Every structure is written in C-alpha cells, then in structure tokens.
Amino acid sequence: MEFQNGSLVYGSDGLTSSKNEMISFNTAGAVAMASDTALPGRAIRAYRLAQNFDSKLPAREKPTDRVPSGLAYGNLDTNSESENFNWPKEEVLRFIDSGGRFPEDIKRRQETVDKLTDPAEKASAQLRLDASIRFPGPNSPLAALMVRANEVPESLSPAERLMWERAQSVSLPA
C-alpha cells in the first residue's frame, strides 16, 4: 500500500490500493449488516462517495441538530424525550444478545408459519423467516438472496453466487 501526506492512496475505483488492485479495503468494524463484509470494499463505499463529493461541493452552513424542546412546531410541541429516544440498557443488551433480532417478533412469525397447512406455502414461509433470522435488518438484500438461492438457484448470476457463498460464512447462525 502507498501513503502520501499521511493518507492511504486509493486506486481509481476508490476501493482498492493504488499499488495493487487485488488489495481491497473494507471497514468490517463498521458494518450495519452481514452483507457489508461479504464483498471487499462494500462498507466504505458511502464513506468514499462522501469524500469525493466533499471535494467538489461548496461548503454550506451546518443544519441545526434538532428542534429545541418546548417550541411550537406546527401543531405539536417539541419534546426532547420523544425526539431523542433512548432504549433502556436492559433492552439494548437483550437486542445485542439476540443477534440484532427481536425474539417476540420471531416467535409471533413462527406461530404464523406453524398455523399454515399447505406444505409448499409453509416451506416457503419458513424459508423467509429463516432468512430474516439469519440476515437481520430492514430489507436485507442477503435475506432475499438466500430465498432465491434456495428456491431458484439457477437465477443467481456468478457475482450473486460468490456473494452468497461469502455471506453464508459471515452470517448469524440460523
């Protein structure tokens, strides 16, 4: 890798090393979901995009962080507690212990699956539940990829097959 003026020098794509395009960078410590670690560089794309725009866009005034508490805002009074909601520590720890999943939601969804009588419909619903458990997060692209890999594997492109193989190794246990 090459450093200039104390900074890493990226390749032309902004994700690889300027000295060797086979070296990709990935901030795996700052991921939102498993897919951020499945492909090299995915987790830093937004950061690199922001850096790129920062050098091209004019400076602007920093917006106010929040509406001050107690002010009339439309027909509502602002309330700092509802604006700055904090989970109780016990709830945060329970969420972390459950791998970023809500156990009550999973239990409710499992009960719905268990009530299904048609075998094909039940298997499909169970697969979708298992995918959302394995790849938690809103609209997880890897959960959708898991469903496709199980239901219509021939529909996966070579890149999607590679991503699916990598995703299985970094995913939460089912």
- Is pTM beyond 0.85 here? no
Residue 28: per-residue pLDDT = 47
Give residue-wise pLDDT tens across range 2-37: 888 877 788 877 767 788 877 776 554 445 555 555
The pLDDT-based confidence of 58 (bands split at 50, 70, 90) is confident
- Whether residue 117 is predicted with pLDDT greater than 90 in this model: the reply is yes
Closest CA to 42 of 122, 139, 123, 141: 141
User: pLDDT > 90: what percent of the chain?
Assistant: 19
Cα–Cα distance list, 39 to 3, 19, 44, 134, 151 (Å) = 24, 20, 11, 18, 23
Mean pLDDT of 143-159: 90
pLDDT at 115: 95
> Tell me, what's the pLDDT at 125?
94
Q: Which backbone phi and psi does 46 adopt, to 5 degrees?
A: -65, -40
Q: What is the pLDDT of residue 146?
A: 92
The band of 88, judged by pLDDT with boundaries at 50, 70 and 90, is confident
C-alpha dist (Å) from residue 27 to 23, 45, 149: 13, 10, 27
pLDDT at 41 over 60: no
Residues near 169 by beta carbon (within 8 Å), at least 6 away in sequence: none
Tens of pLDDT along 159-169?
Answer: 888 888 888 88
Is the pLDDT at 55 greater than 70? The verdict is: yes
Average pLDDT value for residue range 47-69: 69
Structure confidence at residue 37 (pLDDT): 53
pLDDT band at 116 (very low <50, low <70, confident <90, very high): very high
What is the Cα–Cα distance from 88 to 106, expressed in whole angstroms?
Answer: 21
For 14, counting Cβ atoms within 10 Å of its Cβ (0-12 exposed, 13-18 middle, 19+ buried), the class is middle
